[in-house]
Structure 1
């Protein structure tokens, strides 16, 4: 049932803001969930959204919302709103939809300030080339301070086996980014949290975290990894 108190902004329903949840996984549409969160409350965003490529792994598993891009710009507008001034968002992306991602980020207000490449010791697929890397853009809101020890924009990769999610990211690769670009005690947001790798990495780095996941099964997997009870 629709709450009585809501309003429409940018063509989307926006619900009354509540206190920012912490150290939890929320099951739901991230655009709608973020619309109810307070502005300027997040210290760092590290996320792996659908690549808009209709991905299907060898087991036939797919990713929710991976065949359309209508969520892309609204989601990053909300991400931008939730970020504190002078902070960073690191977002993985699909190279086949680069133009869509770049347009959404620019429309949301982000500046591109870096590009990361993660070199895999294996090929995830083979076509004209062996696909042996992942990549992410570094997006800024305002002018983030320079870190004392900047991370390299080229780093290695650890194979997860994708046991918990079709595109499961390795915690070991995410931790250095959180340690470098999120202050101690800061809040890390992942609005496309999948099986919760970003959130696990944030906890290991003694940062607070909040994750949002559209797929109920993956949300419960993330909760289990973090010691939360599955929601019913």
Structure 2
């Protein structure tokens, strides 16, 4: 951490992430891993939707706060909607992030079929300042096991998130997910011996994430 900068640890907030992050100290978070709404008016096959997926008004202020609370030399991994990449790029750059990598998560199934069979997810690796390179860089193509989306309409698998947390943090670091959904990032961080903080606007998903984290055993020591 930078100096005595602090942010809450091992807590999930049921609130707007912009308002919550405004209360954090600057440079108080070691790593951000998040799957924000894609601004695509997404509707799952069972009719479930994602809060704030119908507008991009939150994009710039949310990423501005993420950049502020992230320590200098830290990383943020953000999933994004490929057909709204212009909006996300604008928000990331306006916040002050440098784009230093692109990640592709390969699926063994098609999430939808239109002009193509859509068999991957994607995220960008964003940096604040000039971070050191990881000791053991991970591949930019990772497997994405099927979760069944039982807990959230766009649920991410822990197995795809854990390598990112392991590569860009150390045990005891604070991992923030401002759009934590059902809590997959937080569970992955917990299992790797990292501290975590989540923020979720939707009360139902907040309750799911809270229950999920409450059921986690004491984390194992990281190798």
TM-score normalised by the chain length of structure 1: 0.89
| Residues 116-131 of structure 1 mapped to structure 2, 5 A cutoff | 116-131=103-118
CA shift at 1:97, angstroms?
A: 0.7
CA shift at 1:143, angstroms?
A: 1.1
3-state secondary structure, aligned to 2:42: coil
3-state secondary structure, aligned to 2:18: helix
Give the distance between the partners of 1:147 and 1:39, measured in 2 at CA. Answer: 23
Aligned residues: 211
Matched, 1:45 2:48: no
Give the distance between the partners of 1:195 and 1:90, measured in 2 at CA. Answer: 18
Contact 1:158 1:172 in 2 (8 A): yes
CA shift at 1:19, angstroms?
A: 5.1
Counterpart in the other structure of 2:177: 190
Matched, 1:74 2:74: no
Matched, 1:61 2:48: yes
Contact 2:6 2:28 in 1 (8 A): no
CA shift at 1:84, angstroms?
A: 0.4
Q: Give ranges in structure 2 of 5+ residues lacking alignment.
A: 216-223
Give the distance between the partners of 1:87 and 1:131, measured in 2 at CA. Answer: 31
4+ runs deviating over 6 angstroms: none
Counterpart in the other structure of 1:160: 147
Contact 1:43 1:183 in 2 (8 A): no
Change (3 A) 1:88 1:19: closer
Give the distance between the partners of 2:131 and 2:191, measured in 1 at CA. Answer: 23
Counterpart in the other structure of 1:143: 130
Q: Give ranges in structure 1 of 5+ residues lacking alignment.
A: 1-17
3-state secondary structure, aligned to 1:43: strand
CA RMSD for the aligned pairs?
1.1
| Residues 78-227 of structure 1 mapped to structure 2, 5 A cutoff | 78-227=65-214
3-state secondary structure, aligned to 1:185: coil
